[in-house]
């Protein structure tokens, strides 16, 4: 049994609520699928919490963007990443250097007991979106992705919780504690987003994997506090406003 979190985006109020729920469930093995930083106002605390609590974390596209050109990011993401770089730039501070090295050295993929863990997709673990519409709009893409792994692939990036099976259909996770039984064969399982849900439910999302069952938990958190921190930091008001809509 293990818990999966992803797309935290420097949202500490959401991450604190999720870890409190994970502790209440008695789950000790926690794994992070990336995008620790970006958009939100507390990258330092978010990184410290992941480093101290997670068995591993992966490199998301926003984590990668901390050390790369920002041409492919939209203007809001670029603005937030430039701001985050300034906040995390280590200088002569040993604690800052620890965070900086951790973020820079995040792996792109992890294999564990037959499962593949990536941020984005089996083909491009950092940037490619596996969309819920791919099954009918781009089936060849999904067939290629399924050919690149065996068993189960856990991912994030789209912020849309649910799984896609070899039938190429997306099965969404809806509700407070949605339980999805994975099919025999291969599946790509999206764990949703802790820090910036985009499925219309503003509550933080994470999942717990027990055998072939994935249980998605929706966790209320202090959205107003997260919004206040974003505005106080001088980041775009849109990044604060979208949190209450889950979009």
Q: In whole angstroms, give the CA distance from residue 41 to residue 13.
A: 10
Ranges of beta strands (E only) in the chain are: 2-5, 30-32, 56-57, 109-112, 115-118, 152-155, 162-165, 170-172, 177-181, 187-190, 204-210, 213-219
Q: Can you name the CATH fold of 2-245?
A: Purple Acid Phosphatase; chain A, domain 2 (3.60.21)
Q: How confident is the model at residue 135 (pLDDT cuts 50, 70, 90)?
A: confident
Contact 231/237 with Cβ under 8 angstroms? yes
Q: How confident is the model at residue 92 (pLDDT cuts 50, 70, 90)?
A: confident
Q: What is the pTM of this model?
A: 0.96
Q: In whole angstroms, give the CA distance from residue 195 to residue 160.
A: 12
Q: How confident is the model at residue 19 (pLDDT cuts 50, 70, 90)?
A: very high
């Amino acid at each position: 049994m293990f818990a999966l979190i992803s797309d935290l985006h420097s949202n500490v109020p959401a991450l604190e609520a999720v870890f409190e729920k994970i502790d209440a469930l008695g789950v000790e093995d926690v794994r992070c699928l990336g995008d620790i930083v970006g958009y939100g106002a507390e990258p330092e605390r978010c990184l410290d919490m992941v480093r101290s609590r997670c068995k591993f974390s992966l490199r998301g596209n926003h984590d990668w963007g901390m050390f790369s050109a920002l041409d492919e990011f939209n203007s809001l993401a670029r603005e937030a990443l430039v701001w985050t770089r300034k906040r995390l730039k280590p200088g002569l501070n040993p604690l800052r250097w620890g965070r900086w090295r951790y973020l820079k050295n995040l792996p792109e993929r992890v294999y564990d007991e037959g499962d593949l863990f990536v941020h984005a997709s089996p083909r491009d673990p950092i940037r490619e979106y596996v969309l819920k519409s791919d099954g009918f709009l781009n089936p060849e893409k999904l067939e290629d992705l399924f050919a690149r792994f065996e068993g189960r692939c856990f991912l994030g990036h789209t912020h849309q919780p649910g799984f896609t099976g070899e039938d190429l259909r997306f099965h969404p996770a809806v509700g407070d504690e949605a339980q999805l039984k994975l099919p025999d064969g291969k599946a790509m399982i999206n764990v949703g987003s802790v820090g910036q849900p985009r499925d219309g439910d503003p509550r933080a999302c994470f999942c717990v994997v027990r055998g072939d069952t994935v249980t998605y938990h929706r966790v209320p958190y202090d959205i107003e506090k997260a919004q206040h921190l974003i505005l106080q930091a001088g980041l775009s008001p849109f990044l604060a406003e979208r949190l209450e809509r889950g979009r």
